[in-house]
Amino acid sequence: MTAPVETARPGFARAAPAVLRQAVTVLGSLVTIVVLWEGYKFIGDRTDDTWPLTNIGLPVSSDDLTMPHASDIWSAFWAPVQRGGSDSLAVFLVKASWFTLREAALGFAMGTCIGLVLAAIMLRSHFAERGVLPWVNISQTVPLIALAPIVVTWGRTNGWGDTLSVALISTYLTFFPVAVNGLKGLQSPQAADIELMRSYAAGWRDTLFKVRLPAARPYLFPAFKLAGTLSVVGAIVGEISAGVRGGLGRAILDFAGRYSTGPAKVYAAVIGAGLLGLFVFGLISAAERFFVRGPQGSGT
Amino acid sequence: MTAVQISGAGMTFNPGSDNAVRALDDIDLTIGHGEFVSLIGPSGCGKSTLLRLVGDLITPTTGSIEVFGKSAEQARLDRDYGMAFQQAGLFDWRKVAANIELPLELIGWSRSDRSARSKEMLELVKLDDFGDHYPWQLSGGMQQRVAIARSLAFSPRLLLMDEPFGALDEMTREHMQSELLRIHAKTATTVVFVTHSISEAAYLSNRVVVLSPRPGQIHSIIDVDLGERSDAIRETPAFFAKTTEVREALRAVEASA
Ligand SMILES: Nc1ncnc2c1ncn2[C@@H]1O[C@H](COP(=O)(O)OP(=O)(O)OP(=O)(O)O)[C@@H](O)[C@H]1O
Ligand SMILES: [Mg+2]
C-alpha cells in the first residue's frame, strides 16, 4: 500500500511546521532571483550586452547604474540615508512603511466596509445588482493617477486633510474586489439552505448574518488579501499625488529623483514597498486560517 | 381537529412557457391533528412538491392549503413547521450542537436553554458525544441524524420530512423510525413524511397516500392500523398484509403510467 512511501518521504517536509516550510520556499526563491540577477549582469558584462554568440542586444543594459549589484542593494539598506544622518536606510524604510501602513489600513477598512455594504445592497435587489455592478466594474478602469489629484484637491478645499485623501485613494482600489467577490459569496448558499431559514420564518437579516455571510468567507478572504496589497499600492500612489511626506511614496519619489547618485537606494525602496505588501498579505492570510476552518481548511 | 387541509391544490412550474411542468393536479387531502401521513409514489410524481407546498416554500398555482386553520404562510411565520430533507443541509461552520440550536437561536431562546435542549436532542439521536464536532467530521448517516434532531428541536406542531432516513443504514433507520414514533406518540406532533420505502411507510403511518405521476395526483389512500408499534410488529401478518397492500397500489400506479 502507500504507507511505506509515506514514511519514506524526507522527514523535514512532513515534520516541519507550515511556517518554516514557507520560509524555506521564500528563501529559495530569493536566492534564485539573486543568482539570475547576477548571472544576467555577468553575461551582459562579458558580451557587451548582447545575447551570447550573437549580436542581438539584451533587453536591459547590465551596467551597475541600471542594475546595481545585489550586494550593493543589500549594503544600501544598512548605510545612512543621508550623509551624516543617524538612521540607516532600513530604519528609515521601516518608519516610512509604518506611516504608509496606517493610511493603507484606513483605506482597507473603509474599502472593505463599502465593498460589503455594496455587496449586500446588490444581493438585496436584482435591480441594484444590474444598476450598480457595471459601475463597480467601470470604476476600476479609471486610472488611479488621474483620480488621485482630484481627491487630493477635494480634500484640500474641504479641509479634511491629506491623510484622509490618501486613505480614500486607497479605498478606491480596495472596495472593488470585496464588493465583487462578496456578492458572489453571499449568493453562494444553496437554495435548500435559504429554504431552511425560510421555514424558520427567519428574516433577511438573520439569513444574511447566520447563513450568507459565514458562507461567503471562502470568497471574502481571497478578496481581502487582494484588497490588502492594493491598499498599499493605493496609499503609495496617493502619497505621491498629494506630496505627503513621511511615507514610502515620498521616499520612492525622492530616491528616484536622485537615481544617478544612488540607484541601489531606489531598488531598496521598491523592495521595501514589496515587503510591506507581503506583510499585509501575510497578516490577512493568518486571519483567514483563523476564521475559515472547514473540510478543506486547516481544521482537519 | 384538522391540521392540514389541502383543497384542489395544483402546481405548475414555469407556467405558460415551453418547459412548463404540471407537477401536481387537483390534490385534496385532509390530515388530522396528531396524524402520521406518508406520501409514496414513483420518482418525479410530485411528493417533494406537495410537501413544499404545505411548508409554504412554494405557492400553489391553483387551490388552497390551510394549516391549523390558517394559511400555510401564516403557519410558517408562526413557526409551526419543522423540516428535514434527504440532504442533511447542516452548516459547515457551526458545530453539531450549534446546528441544532440554530432554530432556537432564531426564536430567541436563552443560551442555557438552547444548550440543554441540544444535549437532549443529541441523546435522542444517539450522538451524545458529538456536539462539539463539526458536521464534516461526521458520517453521512450521522449528519442526517443531526438534521432530524434540528427539525425536532423546537417541538414544531407539524413535521415535514422528505426521505429523511434515506441515507441511513437499515439498523439505524429502524432505530430512528422507532424514535420518531416515540416522539410522535409523546407529543401532539402531526407528521407528513415522504418515503420510497414501502415497509417504512406501512410501519410509521396512520395513512399512506399513494401518488401517481404526470400530473401528480392521489391514486389511493391506505389506512394502516397497527396499534402500538414495536419492532415485533415488523414480523406480524398484519404488517405483512399492509406492505402488500401498499406494494400493489404502487404496482397499479406504475402499470397505468
Ligand atoms: N423548481 C422546479 N422547477 C421546475 N420543475 C420542477 C421543480 N421542482 C420539481 N419540478 C418537477 O416537478 C415534478 C415533481 O418533482 P418532485 O421533486 O416533487 O418529485 P418527487 O416525487 O419528490 O420525486 P423523487 O421521489 O425523485 O424525489 C418533476 O417532474 C420535476 O421535474
Ligand atoms: Mg423528492
Q: What residues have their beta carbon closer than 5 A to ion ligand 2?
A: B 48
Cβ of B7 below 6 Å from ligand 1: no
Q: Which residue has the cell 489629484?
A: A149
For residue B12, the ligand closest to its alpha carbon is 1
Q: Which of A188, A195, A196 is the best residue to mutate to test the B interface, defined by the most B CB atoms within 10 Å of its own CB? A: A196
> What's the CA gap between B225 and B67, in Å, rounded?
24
Cβ of B134 below 6 Å from ligand 1: no
Q: Cβ contacts (< 8 Å) between B55 and chain A: which residues?
A: 199
Average pLDDT score, chain B: 88
Between A and B, how many residue pairs show a Cβ–Cβ distance under 8 A? 47
B45 C-alpha vs ligand 1 centroid, how far in Å? 7
Whether residue B167 is predicted with pLDDT greater than 70 in this model: the reply is: yes
In terms of Cα–Cα distance, which of A235, A211, A230, A238 is closest to A284? A230
Instruction: Report the pLDDT value the prediction gives residue A14, as an integer from 0 to 100.
Output: 57
In terms of Cα–Cα distance, which of A272, A279, A278 is closest to A247? A272
Mean pLDDT of B90-103: 93
Which atom number of ligand 1 is nearest to the Cα of residue B58?
A: 1
B35 C-alpha vs ligand 1 centroid, how far in Å? 25
Domains and CATH numbers, chain B: 2-80+156-256 (3.40.50.300)
Beta carbons of A193 and B81 less than 8 Å apart: no
Cβ of B23 below 6 Å from ligand 1: yes
> What's the CA gap between A288 and B69, in Å, rounded?
49
CA angle A121, A229, A31 (to 5 degrees): 155
Peptide bond into B215 cis (omega under 30): yes
pTM: 0.81
Can you tell me the ipTM of this complex?
A: 0.86
Q: Cβ contacts (< 8 Å) between B78 and chain A: which residues?
A: 201
Q: Cβ contacts (< 8 Å) between B134 and chain A: which residues?
A: 293-294, 299
Bridge partners of residue B67, in order along the sequence:
B4, B70
Q: Which CATH superfamily is domain A89-291 in?
A: MetI-like (1.10.3720.10)
How confident is the prediction along chain A (300 residues), in pLDDT tens digits per residue? 344 444 444 555 555 677 788 889 989 999 999 999 999 999 888 888 888 888 888 888 888 888 888 888 888 888 888 777 788 888 999 999 999 999 999 999 999 999 999 999 999 888 888 888 888 888 888 888 888 888 888 888 888 888 899 999 999 999 999 999 999 999 999 888 999 999 998 889 999 999 999 999 999 999 999 999 999 999 999 999 888 888 999 889 888 888 888 888 889 889 999 999 999 999 999 888 888 866 654 333
User: To the nearest whole angstrom, how far is the Cα of B143 from the nearest Cα of chain A?
Assistant: 14
The domains of chain A are located at 13-67, 89-291
Grid cell locating A175: 472596495
Rounded to 10°, the helix B140-152/B170-186 angle is 0
Beta carbons of B136 and A202 less than 8 Å apart: no
User: Which residues are CB-neighbours of A262 under 8 A, at least 6 positions away?
Assistant: A76, A255
Cβ of B46 below 6 Å from ligand 1: yes
Q: Which residue has the cell 418547459?
A: B19
B61 C-alpha vs ligand 1 centroid, how far in Å? 15
Q: Are A80 and A91 in contact (CB under 8 A)?
A: no
Output B235 or B10, whichever has higher pLDDT. Answer: B10
In terms of Cα–Cα distance, which of B160, B135, B155 is closest to B146? B135
DSSP A57: B
Q: Are A178 and A111 in contact (CB under 8 A)?
A: yes
pLDDT in tens, B25-67: 888 999 999 899 999 999 888 999 999 999 999 999 998 899 9
